[in-house]
Amino acid sequence: MQQIYGKHGFFRFSSGESRGLRGLRSGETGISTVGRVLEVARRELQTKDRGRQRVLYGVLADESAKVPFISGVAREELTRNSVVALENVPVKRWKELPTLYVGASANLHVLGTDIEFPSFAELNKPRMMQIGELLCGDGAFDVLIEAAVVSTSTPAENSPGERMVRVDDGTGVLALIVRDRADEELIRFGMGLRVRGNAICSGGGCVFMAEAVKEQSAAILIQAMQSFLCRYT
């Protein structure tokens, strides 16, 4: 099988062109894609049909996104730092995120480690995204947003450690759930934030599950607040 890595990050195969990871949506089937394995480990997961099951769980990345994957069968090809081509793979939702399910019918091809493909160090970094992009998507794994706090919840509305706030970056408004108590105490109305985590999106909206929160520069705050005031005043 021949493969060519193009300037847009895609490999082309004799059977067709592979898809970038960012564009994948849950419910799709027969997906062909290429990525570098960032994480892989055996886990025991609770499934609806088979109860508790030991699987391979990991993270695949290309220059556009990171996507979790699950394999219920042993796959020696899925090793850390290897670039792999996957064919005939469905995308399902797991923990509310689009996830590649590498079943027995999937085809895997190891392309190597030191090939012309973004490096492990480069791909392991979170991607910066705008809220507007997240609102139009199907969820995003390990991304960064920069936004201003435009509203906060009262303690009675959410359980401790899961305080919800709303943030605006000029392209849209997003609900933010902060799990860490120290990060929760940091947040106040009007401050700028740089947040790392996962965007959980569905037909009912989009929520950002914050894993790490840092205060951001005043320039980001002013820009986002101006956009917010223009839309709601």
Does this model's pTM top 0.85? My answer is no
Q: Is 90 exceeded by the pLDDT of residue 202? A: no
CA distances 19 to 76, 86, 137, 200, 215, Å, are 23, 10, 16, 21, 36
pLDDT at 170: 92
The pLDDT value recorded for residue 194 is 95
State the residue for tokens 């970094």. Answer: 125
Q: How confident is the model at residue 163 (pLDDT cuts 50, 70, 90)?
A: low
Q: Kindly report the CA angle at 26 between 20 and 31, in degrees rounded to 5? A: 45
Residue 93 reports pLDDT greater than 70: yes
10 Å CB burial of residue 149 (0-12, 13-18, 19+) is: buried
pLDDT value at 14 more than 80:
no
232 band by pLDDT with thresholds 50, 70 and 90: low
Residue 181: the pLDDT is 81
Tens of pLDDT along 109-126?
A: 999 888 889 999 999 999
The larger pLDDT score, comparing residue 177 to residue 227, is at 177
Confidence at 23, pLDDT banded by 50, 70, 90: confident
Q: Can you say whether residue 205 is alpha, beta or left, with left for phi > 0 and alpha for psi between -120 and 50 degrees?
A: left
Query: Is residue 41 pLDDT above 50, yes or no?
Result: yes
Task: Find, among 112, 108, 174, the residue nearest to 143 by Cα.
Answer: 174
Range with lowest mean pLDDT among 39-53, 73-87, 193-207: 39-53
CA pair distance 143, 140, nearest whole angstrom: 7
Three-state DSSP state, 115: coil
- Predicted pLDDT of residue 2: 35
CB-based contact 70:100 (threshold 8 Å): yes
Q: Does the pLDDT at position 154 exceed 80? A: no
Closest CA to 120 of 36, 40, 50: 36
1 or 171, which is more confident: 171
The whole-angstrom distance between residue 123's C-alpha and the CA centroid of its chain comes to: 12
Query: Rounded to whole angstroms, what are the CA distances from 86 to 93, 143, 152, 218?
Result: 18, 23, 43, 44
Query: Who contacts 211 (Cβ-Cβ below 8 Å, separation ≥6)?
Result: 179, 180, 196, 197, 198
Q: What is the pLDDT of residue 10?
A: 43
Residues with Cβ within 8 Å of residue 166, at least 6 apart in sequence:
149, 150, 151, 152, 173, 174, 175, 176
Beta-strand relationship, 127-128 and 140-152: parallel
Q: What is the mean pLDDT of residues 33-50?
A: 85
Average the pLDDT over 45-59 and give the result.
80
